[in-house]
A and B are shown apart, each in its own frame.
Chain A
């Protein structure tokens, strides 16, 4: 649905986007992840025909964003970083205006506006002036606007920014619902959001793609070792020695709290070996109390920090 090939954008000699390529299939939700100034907004602006690329091509639904901009614009819904609202209009008249400029036939306009008001739960404020709404509502008005033309492709620049936790939850489930019939690209720097809403992640830093995979895949990539967290009631020194001697253990790190009993620590072991049964039986046979044992998974946050600080 979206094909981006070797996209570059140079602003005054500075490369904002540098040779970015990715592909998004129909019905996929792609998360665009990166620190501030990584080139997320620029990439999205190129995809929405707002600005041209310096080099490379991008196609949406088979249409080139530069050559066949009109066809592309008919098929996308775009929520820019700052919701593009006219503060003096009411929610309803604003959405009606956007429906008109998106060439919605007048017979379907009313129904379409009602539908997006319903979808973005704006019913309570439909007659209020947009400029006086809270940030969260403005954001939802922006999202409603993007949905008006029933677009095949949704491009959302930080859709959950400024929302309260309940609204964030609602918007995420809204995006997941939309994704069943549409292709979505969303940018964010909230990491849990990506694992919750996206099928695939592109991590971008300083204009370059540094990683592209599923959220789980990225986490797996990062795993150099299996980790197990343990809390054991017993003499720390003895425990360390005993566990060190187990085949497959590569290291032990004490957790905060140090060497007090009960002793809590993390065991690192070689990949592809599950040492949990061995650890458990060893501890129990020594007569120590096994208070806690769990596998530690590596979060997307670790992956992200690792990737963008590598260079």
Chain B
């Protein structure tokens, strides 16, 4: 436990001594703010139009629509941000040779992975928190429905832990951070856009594609539906990523 904590602490500190944390946070906040503003103004414009033409039969749920759109966009932004959080986790240790320290001390592979993964999760939580700050004005000027918000953030977190696990695994494969970041981005993007192939596919292929897509599972959370099968999907996916990372570290000790 002490090992996991020590590695977690060192990783968090290294995020914040390097420019990575600040760049990521700044860009993420700027984008969240920009999209929040742009969606809000679009929706308000739409309500004004509706009022003008007198079609007020169905009132528009302003905070609800703004929040859903923002969360969908945030999931795309995270697609770019998460590879940056995971690229260095193992690749940098390999490059610096500190992996030799880590693997020749009594630290287990599991503990090394856990410490690093938890550090990246912590950073993800910080990002989600800043996103919550961005949407706070909705509570000042309206009465948004809290449930879809909570489920939306839960979905965002689960989506994040999946991509982080994928990134962590890829980081164990190379000592080059650029390779790690590009591969992670590529794989995440593939999991994200795979959904668009589902229209062309039929039968089993279609259901497999639908199931694999990280986005299709997020939709329900954003709508306010918490479905256990989606939770199982994300957790399983994260677990597979971490397991592969574990095997990848272990393979360094395999006899060839």
A interface residue numbers (CB < 8 A to B)? 10, 45, 48-54, 66, 69-70, 73-74, 76, 78, 80-82, 84-89, 97-98, 100-103, 106, 145, 149
Contacts and interface: CB of A to CB of B under 8 A. Distances in A.
Given A101-B107, A102-B106, A86 B254 contact: no
B101 A98 contact: yes
Contacts of A145: 101
Interface string B174-204: 0000000000000000000000000000000
Contacts of A97: 6, 9-10
A45 B252 CA distance: 12
B218 to A, nearest CB: 35
Interface stretch (B48-56, B92-100, B134-142): B92-100
A48 B103 CA distance: 9
A103 B3 contact: yes
A78 B104 contact: yes
Interface residues of B, number: 29
Contacts of B5: 100
A87 B7 CA distance: 15
Contacts of A84: 96-101
A85 B253 contact: no
B2 A103 contact: yes
Contacts of A88: 13-14, 17-18
B3 to A, nearest CB: 5
Nearest to A86: B98
B111 to A, nearest CB: 8
Interface in B88-118: 96-108
A51 B104 CA distance: 10
A36 to B, nearest CB: 18
Contacts of A98: 101, 105
B10 A86 contact: yes
Report whether over half of chain B's contact residues are helix, strand or loop; otherwise say mixed. Answer: helix
Contact of B106 (A50, A54, A74, A89): A74
A53 to B, nearest CB: 7
Contact of A53 (B100, B252, B255): B255
Nearest to B5: A100
A85 B104 contact: no
B228 interface: no
Contacts of A81: 97
B115 to A, nearest CB: 9
B102 A101 contact: yes
Contacts of B99: 84
A74 B107 CA distance: 9
Contacts of B106: 70, 73-74, 101-103
Nearest to A80: B100
Interface in B159-179: none
8 contacts: A10-B256, A48-B104, A74-B106, A86-B98, A88-B14, A89-B13, A98-B101, A100-B5
Contacts of B13: 88-89
Find the residue from B14, B100, B104, B106 having the highest chain A CB count within 10 A: B104
A76 B104 contact: yes
Interface string B11-45: 00110011000000000000000000000000000
A73 B100 CA distance: 12
A85 B254 contact: no
A141 B148 CA distance: 53
B255 A100 contact: no
A103 B99 CA distance: 17
A85 B14 CA distance: 13
A191 to B, nearest CB: 26
Interface string B62-92: 0000000000000000000000000000000
A70 to B, nearest CB: 6
A98 B102 CA distance: 9
Contacts of B104: 48-50, 73, 76, 78
Given A80-B100, A86-B10, A102 B105 contact: yes
Contacts of B103: 49-50
Contacts of A54: 255-256
A103 B7 CA distance: 12
B3 A100 contact: yes
Q: Which of A88, A89, A100 has the most CB of B within 10 A?
A: A100
B10 A80 contact: no
A53 B14 CA distance: 34
Nearest to B99: A84
A84 B18 CA distance: 18
* Residue with the greatest number of chain A CB neighbours at <10 A, chosen from B13, B106, B108, B253: B106
Interface string B218-256: 000000000000000000000000000000000011111
Nearest to A49: B104
Given A78-B100, A101-B7, 17 more contacts: A54-B256, A66-B255, A74-B106, A78-B101, A78-B104, A84-B97, A84-B100, A86-B96, A87-B96, A89-B10, A97-B10, A101-B6, A101-B105, A101-B107, A102-B105, A145-B101, A149-B105
